[in-house]
Structure 1
Amino acid sequence: MNLRIIILSILSGLLLWLSWPTMPFTPLIFIALTPLFYITEKVRHKGAYFGLIFLAFLLWNAGSTWWVGNTPVPASGVFANSFNAFLMTIPWVMYKNSRRRLSATSSYFALIVYWLTFEYIHQTWELSWPWLVLGNGFAMHPGWIQWYEYTGASGGTVWVLLSNILIYTAWKRARIHDYSFAEFCKREIWKPAVVLLLPLLVNVLIHPVPDDPAKQINVVVVQPNIDPYDEKFAGGNSMQQVEKLISLSKEKTDSNTRYIIWPETALFPQGGWEEQLNYTPEVTAVRDFLRQYPHAKVITGAVTLKQYRQPDEAAEGSRTMEDGTHWDAFNSALQIDTSNSIQIYHKYELVPGVELVPYVRYFNFMKKVALDMGGISGSYGRTPACEMLTDPAHNINVFPTICYESVFSNYVASRARAGANLLVIITNDGWWGNTEGHRQHMQYARIRAIETRKWIARSANTGISAVVDPLGNIYQPQPYWEPAVFKAPVTPRYDLTFYVKYGDLISRGAIIFCILLLIHAIFSRFIPGIRNVENNQ
């Protein structure tokens, strides 16, 4: 194999890594895929082509998300990065095959369609991992992507792919026609320039609905900094953790505080039965604290347990006691006030392999495979509870996005469409250590804020806790791995963005075109004259 081709594959992977948050070279993403187009044209051998594309994506995954291996089983990170790189390679193999049947322009269009379909599927199946959606690459530059309120992150994916295609084709034509620099600028460079600059110029025309000052409320965000490996899930210290959370909360809570926000799994790290929560010492302590501030509510993460009284209530894959009773463990969010009513939300988008054994309902023997990452061995349940945490008296609906859920554009938008007017992210990013993992996760919250035009209050166990406004600006970010608490004003917002109202139209369109392209590919096998277009491109 030509050494230059291998170097180009490595170069593409390195450019993708260097352009990814939180690296400071974001513009490189507009050229990072161009080496792969050259490889696609020059490499004929199918196995070699697959290997070269896979190598590029493996380097990108390993460079950007190597920290997923910071678990009790580090090999899980190797598998996750390798498997995701494999999946990313599939759209490019399909693009390569399309070149035999379609013109150059049509095959480029096919690549965009295949990649968008891949990203959409990666948000909907049980092996989901949308962390490296191309549109997430602009998270550190909210001023570039205010138009995400119309397109969501999928619009950013199209921007990246189309820019790479036009830059590559401009370079290719310049080589073929031996243009001088002046001719190159006159004939070719304007095309990618328009695609690169137009989205930036569109931002000037976007003016989100301003906040209503009369609806502003105060929240207190707590960052307890409890070590998830050695302290949080250790038996017998649950009440000590609650006392620490209450002590920090007291530092900033006052009569104007409406919500006090604690992080993921702050309560009941060993699990608390849902029908008994009102009688637990943890909830009693929280209510004793809240009686000093009767207008405040605590939103907190918790591990909750639910026993199914009727067999038909239990979801497939639920756990079974010795007496045959079905039950489940949930990664939950609770809303606690001074009444006896506790609202419970169950996390739906679960981390594959950590919180969810994918498709366990078809493979019962896999129930005990999930890593012990939350004090509960095995998959968490997905039986629905309440959609959001409500305060009807003040018309406030909080969607408590739990950790990994905040990476899902479509899911968060669906909750805003259902009526959520304030977003809360509760997370425990301490599993990843002091790596890019927690920093990337913080940056992705800015995209969710822009897509939905909602305020976000983010409580992270070990950091980074902060508040994000509807323009994607971050306020009061707290230092990593330090206890912290802060008070901030936020405003519930009731307007719906185009993206929230109508959903991800770009991805839906891509799926339709993907189906049509696959039908065309099937029929082309039986129609003479359609194949072997690649030789003429």
Structure 2
Amino acid sequence: MNAFLRKRFPLLLSILSGLLMWAAWPSSPLTFLVFIGLVPLLAITDRVKDGRVYFGLLFLAFWIWNTGSTWWVGNTTVPASGIFANAFNALLMTIPWWGYKRTRARVDRVTGYFALIIYWLTFEYIHQQWELSWPWLTLGNVFAMRPGWVQWYEYTGTMGGSLWVLLMNILVYQAWRRGQHEPGWFFLWKDGWKPLLLLLFPLAVSYFVITAESETTEPSKNVVIVQPNIDPYDEKFSEGAAMDQLHKFLALTKEKTDSTTRFIIWPETALFPSGAWEHLLNDQPEVMEIRAFLAQHPRAKIVTGASTFRRYLPTEDVPATARIMNGEIYYDAFNSSIEIDTSLNIQIYHKAKLVPGVELTPYMRYLPFMKKLALNMGGISGSYGLTPGVPLFFNPDEQCNIFTAICYESVYGDFVAEKVREGANLLVVCTNDGWWGNTEGHRQHLQYARLRAIETRRWVARSANTGISCFITPRGTVIDPQPYWEAAVIKHAVTPYYHQTFYVKYSGFTAKAPLIFCILLVAYTIILRVIRRQHVENI
């Protein structure tokens, strides 16, 4: 290698890592590149001594990955928000690698690799919990288009996939390092078999998991999904359009609804785009028309997205998210889903995982003056409320409990698993991916829902305003996907399952394991540093 390339080799490695991770990400078919995408960063860690240079190279790699995979988050009324989001997430990704670099300087190589795994998995766990959450690029999500590779997610969830990626990159790097010192291809015999075994073993497990599953005898339910294809920018929230849109929903619904239909799924914010008071829902003209339609199909129920308001009584605690009207009435706006049947009982679920900057101003209970800074994406602007509604839609007459994941709630594996632990036996995704245009955003979002199906072994009924609407089997197979930006209605029989997977039962504990190990590892590193310093001083 000449002097010019040698000097710039770490920079080339950084760019290569970012490009490999981007090329591996859904909906690219080059998923296998993820197994070597982090190898250049491991090489940089060993080669670069200057801390500022190391940080810059890490940031560059992660910024390329983030920007290439999720540039579409900038399709908002404030495009600069996408630039900030990608840069900020790239910055957060450098933290576990910075910790790995510092730990690696004090311990042996194997312990350093262990530290990297723990730090990264801890980062992914925290990134699903705090109010700046953005788990879109969780490493385990990379296999969303390869459900046949990860049927074992019913035991580990995406954390298992992240661990697989990290271990594969470490073993490939170790084999490459051995190749720098061993003659010919001898290193393949000594170390090359390790990544090969690690690659094949999960694939074999996935195969056996599939073949071991037996056919169910549980009764099925006929479900209708509507994809109205209403432009969220120019049509959805235009004044006076609510009833015209309702008529479009009903016209599409009638095409597939019959006496066997049990549930009808409409997308996010399908009803009340300008909001409706929850205590007055039964008086809304939209609800009255829906009930008139359901009177012809009394066993059917409509599950739909809606924008709702909840008023807080003077005796109730007022949350930090609350708005004030006329100087005295406190209320919250919610991104909701509701279930309507022929009775007067409307079940209301409030979205719990809000999009930072769009639906939620993070930590505004500490910074209340920032309450109005949430980006305006049409409809109700400002931060939404977080007061819980019902956890599930309970339907004892159909023995079917539905959890409706609104929009990107379906990206949170642990959160969906929690709802299944609470009794959900059918998953519904109500979303409006039209904000992002015809980009990878809506395609990636669809693919991630396949992982939720595998983790929980539940059917998923996905209704997306502009697409892609579909059904997803418990094995992650997509059924009847509808073209993007076309109105459509589909029908399929789904089976509400009751068995809980290992992941569903224990994800509340296993997800925290990396955090516990991380705390212990940091404590060990600090203690080791103090002991060494005291030893040097005594000498």
TM-score, length-normalised on structure 2? 0.96
Using the TM superposition, give the Cα deviation of residue 205 of structure 1 relative to its aligned residue in structure 2, in angstroms: 2.3
Mark the runs of 5 or more structure 1 residues left unpaired by the alignment: 533-537
- 2:196 counterpart of 1:193: yes
Q: For 1:15 and 1:212, how far apart are their aligned partners in 2?
A: 41
Q: Secondary structure at the match of 2:275?
A: strand
Give the match for residue 73 of structure 1.
78
Give the match for residue 60 of structure 1.
65
Q: Of 132, 153, 161, which aligns to 1:156?
A: 161
Letter matched to residue 268 of structure 2: E
Given that 2:410 and 2:416 are in contact with CA atoms closer than 8 Å, whether structure 1 keeps it comes out as yes
Give the match for residue 93 of structure 2.
88
> C-alpha deviations, 1:414-450, integer Å up to 9, x for none?
0000000000000000000000000000000100000
Q: Of 307, 314, 318, which aligns to 1:310?
A: 314
Identity score, percent = 58
Q: Secondary structure at the match of 1:328?
A: strand
Q: Of 122, 140, 148, which aligns to 1:143?
A: 148
Letter matched to residue 320 of structure 1: I
Give the match for residue 25 of structure 2.
20
Using the TM superposition, give the Cα deviation of residue 318 of structure 1 relative to its aligned residue in structure 2, in angstroms: 1.2
Give the match for residue 423 of structure 1.
427
Alignment RMSD: 1.4
- 2:240 counterpart of 1:240: no
- 2:284 counterpart of 1:280: yes
Using the TM superposition, give the Cα deviation of residue 324 of structure 1 relative to its aligned residue in structure 2, in angstroms: 2.2
Mark the runs of 5 or more structure 2 residues left unpaired by the alignment: 1-5
Q: Secondary structure at the match of 1:320?
A: strand
Change (3 A) 1:417 1:530: farther
Q: Secondary structure at the match of 2:189?
A: helix
Q: For 2:113 and 2:171, how far apart are their aligned partners in 1?
A: 10
Given that 1:220 and 1:253 are in contact with CA atoms closer than 8 Å, whether structure 2 keeps it comes out as yes
Q: Of 118, 124, 130, which aligns to 1:125?
A: 130
Give the match for residue 404 of structure 1.
408
Q: For 1:368 and 1:500, how far apart are their aligned partners in 2?
A: 37
Letter matched to residue 187 of structure 2: F
Change (3 A) 1:241 1:38: same
Mapping for residues 167-182 of structure 1, pairs under 5 Å: 167-176=172-181, 178-181=182-185
Give the match for residue 535 of structure 1.
none
Q: For 2:342 and 2:217, how far apart are their aligned partners in 1?
A: 27
Using the TM superposition, give the Cα deviation of residue 357 of structure 1 relative to its aligned residue in structure 2, in angstroms: 0.4
Letter matched to residue 203 of structure 1: S
Q: For 2:195 and 2:511, how far apart are their aligned partners in 1?
A: 23
Letter matched to residue 37 of structure 1: L
Q: Secondary structure at the match of 2:343?
A: coil
Change (3 A) 1:378 1:52: same
TM-score, length-normalised on structure 1? 0.97
Using the TM superposition, give the Cα deviation of residue 313 of structure 1 relative to its aligned residue in structure 2, in angstroms: 3.3
Range 194-203 or range 133-142, more displaced? 194-203
Given that 1:151 and 1:504 are in contact with CA atoms closer than 8 Å, whether structure 2 keeps it comes out as no
Given that 2:264 and 2:301 are in contact with CA atoms closer than 8 Å, whether structure 1 keeps it comes out as yes
Given that 2:226 and 2:463 are in contact with CA atoms closer than 8 Å, whether structure 1 keeps it comes out as yes
Given that 1:101 and 1:531 are in contact with CA atoms closer than 8 Å, whether structure 2 keeps it comes out as no
Q: For 1:432 and 1:477, how far apart are their aligned partners in 2?
A: 19
Number of aligned positions between the proteins: 530
Using the TM superposition, give the Cα deviation of residue 101 of structure 1 relative to its aligned residue in structure 2, in angstroms: 1.2
Given that 2:148 and 2:207 are in contact with CA atoms closer than 8 Å, whether structure 1 keeps it comes out as no
Give the match for residue 457 of structure 2.
453
- 2:480 counterpart of 1:476: yes
Range 16-25 or range 517-526, more displaced? 517-526
Given that 1:336 and 1:343 are in contact with CA atoms closer than 8 Å, whether structure 2 keeps it comes out as yes
> C-alpha deviations, 1:145-167, integer Å up to 9, x for none?
00000000000000000000000
Q: For 2:62 and 2:349, how far apart are their aligned partners in 1?
A: 36
Given that 1:464 and 1:477 are in contact with CA atoms closer than 8 Å, whether structure 2 keeps it comes out as yes
Given that 1:12 and 1:35 are in contact with CA atoms closer than 8 Å, whether structure 2 keeps it comes out as yes
Given that 1:211 and 1:493 are in contact with CA atoms closer than 8 Å, whether structure 2 keeps it comes out as no
Q: For 2:369 and 2:456, how far apart are their aligned partners in 1?
A: 40
Give the match for residue 260 of structure 2.
256
Q: For 2:201 and 2:441, how far apart are their aligned partners in 1?
A: 31
Given that 2:14 and 2:41 are in contact with CA atoms closer than 8 Å, whether structure 1 keeps it comes out as yes
Give the match for residue 295 of structure 1.
299
Q: Secondary structure at the match of 1:393?
A: coil
Using the TM superposition, give the Cα deviation of residue 310 of structure 1 relative to its aligned residue in structure 2, in angstroms: 2.9
Q: Of 518, 521, 527, which aligns to 1:523?
A: 527
Q: Secondary structure at the match of 2:491?
A: strand
Q: Secondary structure at the match of 1:313?
A: coil
Using the TM superposition, give the Cα deviation of residue 513 of structure 1 relative to its aligned residue in structure 2, in angstroms: 1.0
Give the match for residue 503 of structure 1.
507
> C-alpha deviations, 1:46-104, integer Å up to 9, x for none?
11000000000000000000000000100110010000000000000000000111110
Q: Secondary structure at the match of 2:486?
A: coil
> C-alpha deviations, 1:478-536, integer Å up to 9, x for none?
0000000011110000000000011155432211110011112222332127999xxxx
Q: For 1:180 and 1:261, how far apart are their aligned partners in 2?
A: 61
Given that 1:333 and 1:400 are in contact with CA atoms closer than 8 Å, whether structure 2 keeps it comes out as yes
Give the match for residue 41 of structure 1.
46
Using the TM superposition, give the Cα deviation of residue 325 of structure 1 relative to its aligned residue in structure 2, in angstroms: 2.0
Change (3 A) 1:23 1:259: same
Q: For 2:318 and 2:217, how far apart are their aligned partners in 1?
A: 45
Given that 2:237 and 2:379 are in contact with CA atoms closer than 8 Å, whether structure 1 keeps it comes out as yes
Give the match for residue 3 of structure 2.
none
Letter matched to residue 55 of structure 1: L
Give the match for residue 386 of structure 2.
382
Give the match for residue 202 of structure 1.
205
Range 138-147 or range 323-332, more displaced? 323-332
Q: For 2:511 and 2:535, how far apart are their aligned partners in 1?
A: 28
Given that 1:524 and 1:531 are in contact with CA atoms closer than 8 Å, whether structure 2 keeps it comes out as no
Range 210-219 or range 147-156, more displaced? 210-219
